[in-house]
Amino acid sequence: MICRLWRGWTAPEGADAYERIVRGEVIPGIEAHRVPGFRAIDLMRRELGAETEFQTLMWFDSLASIRTFMDEDYAVSHVPAAARAVLRRWDERAAHFEVIERREQLS
C-alpha cells in the first residue's frame, strides 16, 4: 500500500472556505473518478495561530494506481483554482510512502 501525503496552508480567515472546497468539490471529484486501487482519503486540519495547515492522506494499492490517477509525473500536486484562491502556500509535489505496517485497534 502507498500513502500520498500533501499539505497546504491558509490564513485563519480562509480555513473554513478551503475546508468547504475540499469536502464539497475536491474529494467528491476524486471519488467520481473511481480509480482502481484508490482506497481512501483523510483530510486533517491544524490551527497554528498565524495560519491553518491542512493535510491529506490518500491511500492506494500501488504506485501504478497513483499513476492511473495522476499520470506519469504522479508527485505533481493538483490544486484547483478555487483552492489556490484561499491557500497561502502548498506542497508543489506530494510525498509518497510505502506503508510497511498498518494495524487496526481491535476492541
Predicted model pTM: 0.90
Residue 106 has pLDDT above 90, yes or no: no
Region for residue 27 given its phi and psi (left: phi exceeds 0; alpha: psi -120 to 50; beta: otherwise)? alpha
pLDDT in tens, 33-81: 899 999 999 999 999 999 999 999 999 999 999 998 888 899 999 899 9
Percentage of the chain beyond pLDDT 90 is 88
- Contacts of residue 7, Cβ cutoff 8 Å, sequence gap at least 6: 53, 54, 55, 56, 90, 91
The CATH label, of 3.90.79.10, 3.30.470.10, 3.40.50.360, 3.30.70.100, for the domain at 2-98 is 3.30.70.100
Give the start-to-end residue ranges of the domains of the chain: 2-98
